[in-house]
Structure formats: C-alpha cells, structure tokens
Amino acid sequence: MLTLVLFFWLLNIPSIMSSFTHPKCFWRMKQKEDRDVETGCVFFLITVPSPTEKENLDFLLNNLISTRNYQFAFPLAFALEEINGNPHLLPNVSLIFYFFTNNCNDKQAFRNFINLDAKRHFLLLNNICGDDFKCQVAITGPILAISMSLAPYTQLYKCLQLTYGPFYPILSDEEQFPYLHQMAPKDTALALAMVSLIFHFSWNWVGLAISDDDQGTQFLSDLRGETKAKRVCLAFVIMTPVDTYLYMSRAEVYYNQIVTSSTNVVIIYGDTDSTLAVSFRMWDSLGLQRIWVTTSQWDVITSNRDFTLDSFRGTLAFAHHHGEISGLKNYVQVFDPCKFTDIFLSRLGWMYFDCEASTSKCKTLENCSSNASLEWLMPQHFDIVFSDVSYDVYNAVYAVAHALHDLLLQQVENQPIRRGSLLNSDCSELHLRLKKTHFINPVGDAINMNQKEKLKAEYDIYLIRSFPHGVGLKVKVGEFNPTHFPRGHQLHLSEDIIEWASGTRQVPSSVCSVDCHPGFRKFHHEGMVVCCFDCVPCPENEISNETGVDQCLKCPEDQYANSEHNQCIQKDMIYLAFDDPLGMALSCMALCLSVFTALVLGVFVRHHDTPIVKANNLTLSYILLVSLIFCFLCSLLFIGRPNSVTCVLQQTTYAVVFTVAVSTVLAKTVTVVLAFKVTAPGRRMRWLLVSGAPNYIIPLCTIIQIIVCAIWLGASPPSVDTDAHSERGHIIIVCNKGSGTAFYCVLGYLGSLALGSFILAFLARNLPDTFNEAKLLTFSMLLFCSVWVTFLPVYHSTKGKVMVAVEVFSILASSAGLLGCIFVPKCYIILLRPERNSLQKLREKT
C-alpha cells in the first residue's frame, strides 16, 4: 500500500514537467522478478497463400515470452498485419511467423536445441527434400550470442538472417556471414555524440566500462580519438573479460575503481548479455550514485533501493532517431489482458504508460471483466513505439516483404508461379534482392538495406531517472545529428527540461581539477593527463581574465596587472613635475640660489672699488657669478613634462654654462698662480699676467665644449622617451640622452677642467694671499669634484623622476659649492667686516 501511495505521489510531480517533455516522456516501473529479463527471440517468416489470424501471437504472449520480450513480438505481429492487409504489397500472399518452444526465455535452451538438431542432421528452418531447398528467413536478436549461434546454419543452408538490436561490427563481415543483414545502423558517430554531450556539460573527467571484446576495443579507440580532440580525460577504463571465472576474480577491483575515482560520470558500452551487465547490476545494487552515459539497450529501471530525491543519479541513453510506429500503441491496447494467465502483460501498462489510474482499479486488475482492456490506463505515450529494437523488428519484416514483392513481380513477368511458393526456393536470389532493397516505411523513414550506402546514425538523447521503489522516468532531452549539421553544431539539448535531482537543474560536476579562477593559470605536472593540473598565480604584469586558461596574457606596455592579476590597468604618466613635492623643492632651491647669486653679484658691483673685489679680478668674478646664476636656472629645464626642446636644452645648456663656470674658476686659479709665481722681477712670463692672457681660457674652453655639443646634436640628439618598466603602474616620461658616448664626453671634458682647476689650486694653496684665494678655490673645486664623482653611481642606480632629481640636485649642489666657497667669505668681509676690506690690511697680510 505504501508503495502505491508513493507511486501515485510521484505521478503528481508538477504537470509542467510533462508539458515540457511532450511527446516523449514515459513513466515506467521496474519488474519485480529477476527472471523477467531481456534475452531475445528468434522468429521465422514463411509465406502462405491465405489470410492469417492472431492466434499464434496470443499463444506466444500467453505462454512463451517474458514481459521484457513483448517489445519484439508486438511490432513483429503488427508489421505482419499491416503487410497482409495491404493490397499493394505482396498481393494474394500472406506472411506469417513461427517459433519453437522457449526460444525467447532461455538462451541456453536455444543453443541446446540447435546443437541437438545439428547432431540429428536436421534443422527446423530447412526441410531437405532432394535438391529442393526451402528458403527460410530468420529474425534474431537483440543479443549477439543468439545471432552468432544461428549464423553457421544459415550460412550452411544459404538461409537469410536479419538481426535486430545493436549493430555488431563482427556480424558485418560478409565472408563469415554472407547471408546476414543487420537492421540497426552503424554507430560510427556514437563516440562523437557521447563526447559532445560530455563536453557540453563541461565534464572532462569520466570513467569508461566496456566489454573486453572486439566491439569494446573499437569503441575505446573511437572514444580516445574524440576525447583527445575535446580535451576530455578518462579517469579509468574497465574492460570486463568475457570469461565469467576471470571476471569474478576481478569484480571487486572494478567496483573499487569506480568507488575511489572522483568522477561522477561513467560511460557504459557493451552487450547487455555480458559480464559488464553483471557489473552494472552489482554497482547499482550497492547504491553507486553515478550518471551513466550509455546506449538504448541499457534502458532499464535500476535499483529498488530507497535514496534521497535530491541526490543526482540517472542514465543518459542514446537511441537511434526514428519516427513513431503509428498504430502500434493502439494495437497493444486492444489486447484483452484477462485472456492471458501471465499477469506481466497487465504490468506492461505500468512500465510503458503515463498512468493516472486509481488505487481501486489497480486492485481489481487481476479480476477484470471480459471486456476489460489496457485502455483503462489512459495512456499518454507508449515507449514501445520509440524502442530501437521494436523499430528494427518492424523494419526487418518490411524489408523482407519488399524484397519478396520485387521477386514476385519478376517471377510474374517471367512465368506463372504458384502463390505461397516464394520462399520455396534457394535464398540466393532473395538475398541479392534484399541487399538492394530500399523503401520508405509507413513511419516515413527511408530504409536502405545496403550497408555501404547507409548514412551515419542520428541519435535521440533520453534522461532516465530512477526513483524509490523501482519507479523511473524517461524524458527525451535532445538530439545529435551528424549528417545535416556541421561539426560542433550537431548536438541540440533542451536543458530547461533536464532535472538532475528533484527541483534542481544545476548540472553535477565531473572534473579532475577545478578550473583555475581569473588571475591563475594551469600548471601541468609531468606525466599527468591534461585534465589534471594545479593552479598557479600569473607572473608579474600578466593576467588571466577567464577561468581555466593555460597561459596568462602579458599586459600592453602602457598597462599593468592589478593585484589580483585579472585585469590590465592603464598606467599613469609621471615625470618630475613642478607641482610634485620633490620638483617643487628643487625648483624653490634653484630660484633661491639664483636670487642669492644675483644678490652676491649686486654686492660685488656695489663694492667694485673696494680692495677685496679688485684683488679677486673683477671681470672673472662677474663672469663666474653670472654663469652660476645660469647654472641654477638651467636646472629648471629638468623639471616639468619633457618635450623635444627641453630635452635638447637640458644637456647642452647645462654643459656650456658649467664649462663657462669651471673655466672661469680655472682662469682665476691661473691668475692667482701667475700673480705670485711669475710676477717677480726678471721673470720672462710676467707679460702673460699683464696682457690678461688668463681671461682667454674661458672662451677657448667654452668653444671646445660647444663643438662637442654640436657633434652630439648632429649625431644623436637627446629626445623624449618613456620608461614603462622602472616603476609598476607608471610610465615615466624622461629625456633619452641620445648618444651615450657624446654625453659622457661632455661630462668627461667638464670633469677634466674641474680636475685641472683643483690640481692647480691645490698646488697654490700655500701662496701668501691676503684673503686665502688659492685655498678657497681649492676647497670649491674639491667640493665640485666630490659632488660629480658621487653623482655617477647614484645616477645609474636610480630610475625615473628620482634619476632626474639626482641630476638636478648635483647641478645645484656643485654650483652652490662654487658660490659658497669662493664668494660667501668675501661677502662676509664686505658686509660684516668692512674694516678688513682696506688696502692697509691687504698690504699687511701680503
């Protein structure tokens, strides 16, 4: 009672689901007896000259066939009724079928029957009367073993054999099975279809369980080719051996492979009559919750075990795409279930119908009245009309009928024949006719019996979900069409009707490694498959703005990576600006020092007639002070946004002005030396001092520097440049020096002048000068040289605007050193100690 209540509750799951899945949605119920399994049937077709009745089908359903095998008998009988009732197909000739006892229920019984007949040199399907062979047509399937058992005898007696069920490559060997025709199309696109589905759901870590035979090996080869193209990896490959004893010794290993694997998706491919089927039933009985991707012959309601409805489990089954066998549903419904002692026929309605029956009707099913039928179940849809094996059986009968019809027309044209004698001859001619047969079946599908001309199979995709108490729901969720659509666009899914668990459409995950988030990239360890990896951060200035990338992208030169390494940000343009604190400080220093130098010049001009000013060579002092003012001001060229003009003026102005200043100091030093060394009476070089020759040092040295600068500007002048690498997140606008050789030549020439002045002043430091002029010059040049010697390593160890600031500071410091050492002591005497600024004091010291 509890089971029925739960079942009816499941039937009331929101009706919107049934509207979404129309017209292919089926409720089914699991058979309750393990003996009721699909084994297959063998039917034989013969022609008779008179109409036939249904009694043979009634006897077959009532006594010989299990419920699972009704799907073979019903379409066979239905096709025969259609053909026999069609006046345009096999007129005045009827097709009937027969079978031998228990061939549908027991595969081993069928084999024993064949072996016994072989020993007696007698075969049911062939009556040998001299040279008169009666051609028989056998329809076998869906299990390979059934068809293989009969094949040697059909070849021996040249009888026709048509198989339904899956396509087996081994049966397509025309040398080994010359009179065998397979109704199912080749599954050449099955591996592509399965991998396309797996790739669509972003699964890249799947398991595979196949039979260890030629069919399984071929499928494995096809699957590996497709998975490699889609970057899908196999977590494990289970190949169940054909030998039962060998399989039993490894069964636990196979189970542990699935249990310990992190994959949630397992592909099942093989014959349902194999050790793989044993494994599948065992895995299901032990409660393994996986998504099984397989073919239509594995379309079963699985476990009777109870489980939570929010857990994901189910089967994605690929079935050959074909139309509905019109009328078959009604044909089954009109059968009177009370005529049959087997209650399984009544349960057929529960398996294949979308039922809305009351509890009372279910109770009275076994005691139904004589006019009762399966119509009381109010079926909405019927699964048999879409079944692959039912469709194959249906087409097999029609294929034989069309081949016989062509043979009949030929015989009518050639000579009169007796009705019903079509199969009473050698099958060779019918075999040739059958190979060339192509027709449109009543469903509307084109059927071509020539295997070489068949197109790739198209697939319908069904989601089969199992519920507690053996109830299941089968829903068509998509199609795969490899014939009419280009590669990559062959899969079509209706994801809005897919429920992986009750009330949720969230796709379960099945990956070896979770995709790397933005800012990370995949790192594959040696020996690992491509689906398994670690996630490592992107390197400096590289980003990944998508999930699961193999390589990070480098940001453009004008951009930089943010801290999360998932976005490139535009770099700021920076330079030593006037409003920058450092630039502002240096600007103020330059202006203050230039103003202070101008005040010193004013003091010297105002007191030009005093002894201390006259004693220091008034002209050289004026030139030095003016050059120092320009030295301070030229540092302003280094501050602000660089442009082509300022870049040229920076180095050349600074070089020329500093050359004037240093050469002036050199001239002053030479003057002091000449004043005390060559002015003694009788010295021949006295005329140098009297003639003012030291003053010519300034223009001579300056002209040399100007020539060097001119060569520099002509060869490779300074220009505006950008530095995008020194500081993260910034593009530094700097002045490129152009020719580095020319730059260092300018500095070297300037340094040689300063060094010469320092050496000369150092040698004259002890001369009896009243105001210690030689000592002041020595100390000023010492300070000047120290600043620039320190400048070189510091300049090369800094980048960006700091490097520019170092150069500006060096200019200001060296200029301030000359100003402070040479002129500040004199201004101190002039302004604060005027009593020392007299000729008397000058003579006393001298």
Rounded to the nearest 5°, which phi and psi values hold at 773? -60, -45
Is residue 827 in a domain? Answer: yes
Contact 266, 248 (CB under 8 A): no
Q: Are residues 45 and 149 in the same domain?
A: yes
Lowest-confidence pick of 166-180, 252-266, 439-453, 465-479: 465-479
In a domain, 29, yes or no: no
Running DSSP on this structure, what letter comes out for residue 205?
A: E
Lowest mean pLDDT, pick from 93-97, 141-145, 330-334, 821-825: 330-334
Residue 379 lies in a domain: yes
CATH assignment at residue 682: 1.20.1070.10
Residues 677-690, mean pLDDT to the nearest whole number: 53
- 752 plus 811 within the same structural domain: yes
Contacts of 64 (CB under 8 A, 6+ apart): 99, 101, 102, 103, 104, 105
Q: 722 falls in which pLDDT band (50, 70, 90)?
A: confident
Same domain membership, residue 742 and residue 763: yes
Please tell me whether residues 621 and 690 are part of one structural domain: yes
588 and 540 in a single domain? The answer is: no
How many Å is the maximal CA-CA distance in the chain? Answer: 165
In single-letter form, the type of residue at position 796 comes to: H
Write out the residue range of the structural domain in which residue 804 sits: 581-845
Distances (CA, A) of 290 to 28, 104, 267, 284, 511: 20, 32, 10, 9, 13
| Residues 586, 446 within the same domain | no
308 to 27, 29, 797: CA distances (angstroms): 19, 18, 69
- Confidence bin at 203 (pLDDT 50/70/90): very high
Same domain, 606 and 551: no
User: Residue 48 above 60 pLDDT?
Assistant: yes
Separation between Cα atoms, residue 166 and residue 273, nearest integer Å: 12
734 lies in some domain = yes
Q: Which of 512, 543, 570 is the last residue of a domain?
A: 570
- What CATH number does the domain containing 354 carry? 3.40.50.2300
Cα–Cα distances (Å) from 567 to 536, 550, 560, 561, 670, in that order, read: 16, 17, 8, 6, 65
pLDDT of residue 104 exceeding 90, the answer is no
For residues 268-283, average pLDDT: 86
Q: How far apart are CA 603 and CA 625, in angstroms?
A: 11
Which of residues 403, 421, 453 is at a domain's end?
A: 453
| Last residue within a domain, chosen from 570, 598, 628 | 570
Percent of the chain with pLDDT over 70: 73
Statement: residue 783 has pLDDT above 70: yes
Is residue 126 over pLDDT 60?
A: no
Tell me the pLDDT tens digit for each residue of 731-751.
888 888 888 888 888 888 988
pLDDT mean over 44-68: 66
User: Could you tell me the pLDDT band of residue 483, with boundaries at 50, 70 and 90?
Assistant: confident
Residue 75: asked if its preceding bond is cis (omega within 30°), the reply is no
**pLDDT at residue 243 tops 60:** yes
Q: Are residues 713 and 821 in the same domain?
A: yes
Share of the chain above pLDDT 90, in %: 18
Q: Is residue 46 part of a domain?
A: yes
Tens of pLDDT, residues 608-631? 888 888 776 788 888 889 999 999
With respect to residue 101, please indicate whether it lies within any of the assigned structural domains: yes
Domain assignment present for residue 674? The answer is yes
Whether the predicted pLDDT of 340 surpasses 90: no
- Between the CA of residue 163 and those of 179, 183, 563, what are the distances in Å? 11, 6, 66
* Residue 35 pLDDT greater than 50, yes or no: no
Give Cα 622 to chain centroid, integer Å: 77
Instruction: Find out whether 741 and 687 touch, Cβ atoms under 8 Å.
Output: no
Do residues 528 and 644 both lie within one domain?
no
Query: CA 359, 329, 353, 163: dihedral to nearest 10 degrees?
Result: 130
Kindly state the average pLDDT of the residues 328-350: 54
3-state class of 2 per DSSP? Answer: helix
User: Does 406 score more than 80 pLDDT?
Assistant: yes
Provide the pLDDT confidence category of residue 20 given band limits of 50, 70 and 90: very low
Q: Which residue has the higher pLDDT, 272 or 846?
A: 272
Same domain, 416 and 551: no
- What pLDDT, on a 0 to 100 scale, did the predictor assign at position 685? 55
Pairing, β 265-269 against β 471-480: unpaired
Do 530 and 609 belong together in one domain? no
Higher per-residue pLDDT: 19 or 462: 462
Residue 424 pLDDT: 56
Q: Is residue 396's pLDDT more than 90?
A: yes
Tell whether 202 is covered by a domain. Answer: no
Instruction: Look at the chain and report how many structural domains it folds into.
Output: 3
Closest listed residue to residue 816, CA positions, set 772, 786, 793, 775 = 786
- Using pLDDT thresholds of 50, 70 and 90, give the confidence band for residue 459: very high
753 and 625 within one domain: yes
d(CA 667, CA 467): 108
Average pLDDT, integer, range 169-191: 88
pLDDT at 353: 38
pLDDT at 29 over 60: no
In one-letter notation, the amino acid at residue 722 is T
Question: Residues 453, 429, 388, 222: is their CA dihedral positive or negative?
Answer: negative
Kindly give the residue spans of alpha helices, DSSP state H, lying in 189-274. 190-200, 214-230, 244-260
pLDDT at residue 658, as a whole number: 86
Task: Name which of 278, 294, 288, 285 is nearest 313 in CA terms.
Answer: 288
pLDDT-derived band at 28 (thresholds 50, 70, 90) equals low
Say if strands 205-211 and 265-269 run parallel, antiparallel, or are unpaired: parallel
Average pLDDT of the segment spanning 56-68: 63
Q: Is the pLDDT of residue 171 over 80?
A: yes
Work out the angle between the directed axes of helices 581-606 and 618-634 (0-180°, nearest 10). 170
Question: How high does pLDDT run on average in the chain?
Answer: 77
